[in-house]
Homo-oligomer: A and B are copies of this chain.
Amino acid sequence: MQSIPKEKISMASEGLRAISHELRLSVLCHLLNGSMCVAELIEATGASQSNLSQHLAKMRLMGILNNEKRGQQVYYRIANPAFAELVEALQKIYCPEMCNFVLTEDALEER
């Protein structure tokens, strides 16, 4: 029988843990539709500025997101398509009725 390499399990669980936080997952879901700046994410998620900023930093450090400064604002987007896929797999399970709407063509392109 094939056994799963311990290192892969470790990496995968790290990846999962990164997106298993309610706020971080929420951010990811919103970013499926394309990039957003911090202020928009604050508005969308209801998180405090400081709290959100820290979670964004964490996701950036993990390679899940990347960001780009445009003037005063910083725009975040999903850096690693694998995480977009994961979130989509999740959505299929937890809110299947929504998948078709969230992933518009535009979103897929801009992402």
Contacts and interface: CB of A to CB of B under 8 A. Distances in A.
B8 A95 contact: yes
A33 to B, nearest CB: 6
B4 A30 contact: yes
B89 A12 contact: no
Given A86-B90, A89-B85, A93-B85, A26 B9 contact: yes
A108 to B, nearest CB: 15
Contacts of A61: none
Contacts of A58: none
Nearest to A6: B26
A20 B22 contact: no
Interface string A19-59: 11110011001100100000000001000000000000000
Most central of A1, A29, A91, A94 by chain B CB within 10 Å = A94
A17 interface: yes
Interface of A: 1-6, 8-13, 15-17, 19-22, 25-26, 29-30, 33, 44, 82, 85-86, 89-95, 98, 101-102
